[in-house]
Chains A and B, each alone.
Chain A
Amino acid sequence: MGPVSGTVTRGTSPQRAARRRLTVFRVVVLGLVGLFFVVPLVSMLDFSTRSFRTGGRTGAAWAKLVTDPQLSGAIVTSLVLAVLTVVLMVVLLVPTMIWVRLRVPWAARPLEFLCLLPLTVPPLVIVVGLKNVVLWLNYLFGDTPYVLALLYVVLVLPYAYRALDAGLSAIDVTTLAEAARSLGAGWATVIVRVVVPNLTTALLSAAFISIALVLGEFTFASLLNYDTLQVAINLQAKSDAQESIAASLASILFAAVLLVVLSVVSGGRRRRSASASARTTAVTTGTPAPTTPAQA
């Protein structure tokens, strides 16, 4: 049980050598790849703080993030869109998944297929075919960029489904529901007051992934002519490269902080819950917690 590792019994020399080789391999691979990933981020920081005229450092580009009305307007739009998408996703997906698990088990497979379908249909294709749907949305809701939230939920579905599915598998939904129902709870109470509070980490995970996705989404917004963060960054690059790079780095750092916080929080919870409950699957199988961001 557990991953392939060099944690074989100590003592014998060839095994020690093998372990050393493994350690060297790990250090080299992680170091090189880590470098590949960190260098562009550091370059973004360097580029955005470089002062072309004086050759020193300046925080002017970063200051413009809050002062430039176009960019700050787009930031607000994107953040609101992210929140709206998360709310819509929770309202749409969580009751459906719980309901399927409890009442309509034969629909679990089709549901999974449908939720993972957006992975097969590229967003570019979806947006190409969305013309009439967007016209209807504009007709019904007026002309606001927030109708994008309805479209973003489709993009977010696969990842959110995965996170929530993992969370639902980890708790004993049927027993909880059975207990609540036998105490006289209605289905709404079962879903909202009994099951959902047990899903907090999974919900957080799904929420954070959705936020990261919405903040980074460009295809829909640009081809449907809405002004979100990524579109504004792309536009800004034509006139002020440093400001747009500062904005890019800020959005990436924001998403990264969210997800690292989530992993810390979920790690802490897992340790607490693992010691409290009789289940030890996580520890013995050594799998990552189901609530860490899966394929974000």
Chain B
Amino acid sequence: MARTRLARLRPALGVVPFGVYLLIFLVVPTVTVVIGAFAEDGRPSLANLAGLVEPSVLTALLNSVLVSAVTALIGGVVGALVAYAVVTGKPDGALRRLVTSVCGVLAQFGGVTLAFAFIATLGISGVVSTWLDANLGTGLTSSVWLFGLKGLVLVYAYFQIPLMVIVFLPALDGVRVQWREAASNLGATTWQYWRLVGLPLLTPAFLGSLLLLFANSFAAYATAAALVSQGSPIIPLWIRSALTSEVVLGRQNFAYALALEMIVIVAVVMAGYSLLVRRTARWVR
């Protein structure tokens, strides 16, 4: 096809506005963060990166990773079960559509509204906590576990489970009934089928979804900001503290370094997710 280079380039101009928009609003902030992490007071410096390995920041990183991993696991397992329960119903049925759209809403629920929902439920004068205290003698109304890491895990599960359902449903859709039939033709029990056929095929997709959930939980800010006011137990809250603290000043660039740390971790996790999903694509056609 003898087209001049210019002629080939011309149609691409239609994509330029979009590219420019993304450049300004996505690439520039990211690059600002990356450059700012290596600067201090306008001069290049590694001081902020050195600050990243301070014990309190490392503890926050560990907490972040821990909370993300636990919520990814909880969300992954429960979400997979819910997805399975939904997928075994009618493909076009009301249940499936209802669950999909409700999960769509709840996966976005996070943030201030979610924090308040749980404060209203399990907080110090929450509905469920007062009921549990009255009927089961638990000490929930005088305990503050909701505002610590344990509470964060429970609250994060609220949007991790729907996200898992949404991400994992297509994978379950790909598991064909012919496999099941073939397996039972060869004499396999349900357990054998799952152990030898179903689970191995679903594992890459499952692990990939877990990674997606991990990245989602790691990057979450609004919920923790609304729920936790004392201390900065996780990295996003450290960023908030570095930007808005009136006690320890001059940590703008440290916030950049923390943000760089976040990008790196989330990018690595998402790359792993992408690779895993690529593997699964081989099976499900």
Contact = CB atoms under 8 A, between A and B. Distances in A.
Given A129-B256, A218-B225, A287 B173 contact: yes
B161 A33 contact: yes
Q: Chain B's interface: helix, strand, loop or mixed, by majority?
A: helix
Interface in A166-215: 209, 212-213
15 contacts: A4-B176, A26-B88, A30-B82, A40-B117, A43-B117, A96-B17, A104-B15, A121-B26, A122-B218, A218-B221, A218-B225, A223-B243, A244-B116, A252-B113, A283-B92
Nearest to B117: A40
A212 B108 contact: yes
Interface residues of B, number: 95
B109 interface: yes
A276 interface: no
A294 interface: yes
A60 interface: no
Contacts, number: 291
A42 B121 CA distance: 9
B105 A259 contact: yes
Nearest to A91: B17
A126 interface: yes
B49 interface: no
A130 B11 CA distance: 31
Contacts of A256: 102, 105
B92 to A, nearest CB: 7
Nearest to A270: B92
Contact of A126 (B30, B100, B218): B30
Given A4-B172, A124-B221, A263-B101, 5 more contacts: A33-B82, A124-B259, A222-B222, A233-B116, A295-B166
Contacts of B29: 125-130, 133
A72 interface: no
Contact of B78 (A33, A47, A233): A33
B219 A122 contact: yes
A43 B14 contact: no
Contacts of A8: 181
B101 A293 contact: yes
Nearest to A225: B244
Contacts of A122: 218-219, 221, 236, 259, 262-263, 266
A117 to B, nearest CB: 6
A129 B28 contact: yes
Interface stretch (B31-39, B40-48, B55-63, B135-143): B31-39
A292 B101 contact: yes
B148 interface: no
Interface in A229-265: 230, 233-234, 237, 241, 244-245, 248-249, 251-252, 255-256, 259-260, 262-264
Q: Chain A's interface: helix, strand, loop or mixed, by majority?
A: helix
B120 A43 contact: yes
Nearest to B184: A8
A231 to B, nearest CB: 8
B283 interface: no
B165 to A, nearest CB: 9
Nearest to A95: B14
A248 to B, nearest CB: 4
B109 to A, nearest CB: 7
A234 B173 contact: no
Contacts of A128: 29, 33, 239, 243, 255-256, 259
A73 interface: no
A41 interface: yes
Given A29-B81, A125-B259, A295 B128 contact: no
A131 interface: yes
A67 B12 CA distance: 51
Contacts of B108: 209, 212-213, 216, 255, 296
Nearest to A120: B270
